[in-house]
Structure formats: C-alpha cells, structure tokens
Amino acid sequence: MTDLVVRAQLVLLARTLHVPVERVAHLERLGAQRLHELQDRMSGTLFDQHNPIFERISSLVPIIPLRISIPIVQRLVPPVMTGRAAGAVGVQHPKKAADAVGLLDVAYAADCAPYLDPRTVGQLADVAPPEPVVRIVNELLSRRDYITAGPFLAYATADLVRAVEAGVADDEGLIRSASYAFSAEAVSAVVRQLLDTGNRIPTMLATVVNGSKELRLAALSVFARCDDDVIAAVGELLLEHIPPSGIADLLTTVVGAGGTPDVLRFVGQLSAPSLLKLALNPGIGDVAETLVAECDGSTEIALWRGMLELLARSPGEVRRRAGRQLAALEPATLHMLPTFAQAARLWPPLLWVLAGSDVDAQAMVAERWARAPRLNIDVLDRRIQDQRLESLLATLTTTLRVYR
C-alpha cells in the first residue's frame, strides 16, 4: 500500500475527529489497513450516536417538498450538518435523495461531500443520477480535493464510470483522486472499465508522462494496485503510445522520488513482450542498481519478481551491474534468495541475472548460498542446465561446492 493511501486515511480520520491532521500524524505507523479500520469504526460510532436526530429529520422529508426545503437548507444549514444527515436520510428515502442531488447547488454539494456517512454512500450509488454527480466531481477536482473524491471510487457503478469518462476532462484530477482511494479492487475495476470502453487510458498515460513528479507517483500508485491482467494491458498501452525517451524519463523520475516498490509491483505483471521492450530501454541502466537494492531485506515476492524478470532481459552491461549489486545485498537476504526463487518460480530470471555478472559477484553469492537453508546443489545444477547456462555460471557452481 502506498504512502498516498496512508495519507488519505490520516486525513479522513482527522476529519472524522474534527482535529488537524497533525494531531493524528503519529498514527501513520499503523499503515493504511489499520487506519482505514480505525476511521471506519470511529465514523460508524459517531454517526450511530446521531441516529435519533437523523430520524427526526427523515420524518420531515415526505412532508416538505424538496423545492421548498432544499433552498432553505442551503441558506441556513452548514454543509457539515447536511453532509452528516444526508446519507442516513437518503437511505430511508432513496428517490427523494436522488432528486435532491439534482437540486443542490454544486458548490454546496461539494462542501457537504467530505461529511457523508461512507456506509450509506454505497446504498445510494445505484439510485444517484450520474449527471449531477459528475458536476460535483468536477467541482471537487477543480478544488483539488482529491482525498474527498478518492473514496467514492469504491461505490462507482458502471453507469457512473461511463458518465465520468464522458463528463470529466481532468485526467490529472482523476488519477490523483484514484491514488487516494483505499480499495484496490475498486481502483482496478474502474481502470478495467476505462480500458474496455474507450481511449481514455492512453490519454491519461500521455498526461502522466508529461506531468509533474507528483502526478507520476500518483499514477504508479494507481496502476500498481490493479489486477494482474489490468496491469499487463496498461503496460502494453504505455509502451505502445509513449516513446522510449518518455519511458526512460518516467522511470528515472519515479525511482528517484522513492517510487521503486510500485515500479517493481507494476513491472512484475507485464507480459513477456512488454518486459523485453522495457528491459531494452536505455533508462533501465540508470536505475538497475536501485531496483536491486530495493529488494534488500524484503520478503515481498512481487518486488523480487519485478526486479528479476525485468533485469534478466536487460543488456549484458546492465546485468553485470545488477549482479554486482545483488552480491552486495545483506547476507540474510542472500541466504533466503534460493527459497524465494523456489517458492515463486523465479530461478530462470535469477540465474540469467547472475549469468551476466562478473566472477567476483558469482563467488560472493556462492559463498552466501553455501549457508543457505534448504539449498539443494543438484537441483540448482538442473536449473542451470535447463537454461543452458553451465559455462556462464561455472564460477557460481564451483565456488558453491568449495564452500559446501
């Protein structure tokens, strides 16, 4: 889970508690999942405490016509109160709620949006008319209130996604909002629909490549959390529509800004042709050692897969530098590397990276592997033979037997 998602959960928690975000910043160490659960429980408790008030308000809805009540509400009731009451009232009167959305002033509705009960938004999603929702989304994006817009992705229906695609022109705003969404499943579903329905993803990718460092990191956060097949499709479009120079600049920017984990998660799901095209990009040479270093001490298979599958296809000089960096990883990491390779079927790319490294790097890896748990040299020999790398990995196997 990326830092952007953690940041969004902190802001949402602070809003729920009506305190500055700095007051809860120390909770960042809990991570996005626990922050989300904490915010959800606190929000639920607070809204439940106000149920008697919401019930009294709800009883008036059938009595007072909306064309009379809505102007009065907008003039007299602060948005925070309207937002808190709207969800609960809307669940009891969904048709009225749908009609009310169309009558609200867009700016006032956007003011109310941060205070809606998230439990009720999903129940109203099917009845809310897309057109006024799109106007509200445009207003939120014009304010750059991406943290408010992001969580609503979890409840976006297919009809609403189509309406947003047609009615919201702000590619950057949509990407930034999605980067703050907690639900990876919802993010993936929306990207999948955009892939299926039109040419929006290629235009978004062009916006990203030409955009700021912050936008590039946000986009990577979005796409790296998608389903495997969605990532593969986005990757094909990226490499098809963006020139190699743009890809190289994108890589060096996001890696230099600390986005390496998301780069590896994304790369690990690319198709073989896309991996090869990316591996041959000149920009890989500038970041190869950083990609390897990012895996040091990590037990996340997705990071290892992205790094090894990419660098195994890279030119010889890149693999040589990557192999040297690999040999310099912490001993404990190298001890466990055969276990990762076996569990995730990563022996082929790992062996190809090592085959491109120099003899000193191979000897260092062999020395560490001699103490590795559950490393079977005969099995390793067969893996090397399968890849026809006996001559290129002679130093590795010879040194391993010496230390064993």
55 has a pLDDT exceeding 70: no
Of 17-26, 121-130, 367-376, which gets the smallest average pLDDT? 121-130
pLDDT of residue 5: 84
Percent of residues, the chain, with pLDDT higher than 70 = 91
pTM flag (> 0.75)? yes
How confident is residue 246, by pLDDT bands cut at 50, 70 and 90?
very high
Both structure tokens of 266: 């994304």
Nearest to 94 by CA among 129, 133, 57, 127: 127
Query: Over the stretch 328-375, which tens digit does the pLDDT of each residue have?
Result: 999 999 999 998 899 899 999 999 999 999 999 999 999 999 888 778
Q: Residue 45 has what pLDDT?
A: 73
Instruction: Find the range with the poorest average confidence among 56-60, 252-256, 374-378.
Output: 56-60
Tell the burial category of 51 from Cβ atoms under 10 Å away from its Cβ (0-12, 13-18, 19+): exposed
Cβ atoms within 10 Å of 348's Cβ, excluding its own: 16
Instruction: Look at residue 172 and tell me whether its pLDDT is greater than 50.
Output: yes
Looking at residue 116, its pLDDT comes to 80
Does residue 62 register a pLDDT over 70? no
Q: Could you give the CA distance from residue 140 to residue 128 in angstroms, rounded to a whole number?
A: 17
Q: What are the pLDDT digits (tens) for 253-266?
A: 999 998 999 999 99
What was the pLDDT predicted at 1? 43
**pLDDT over threshold 60, residue 233:** yes
Range of lowest pLDDT (11-15, 122-126, 372-376): 122-126
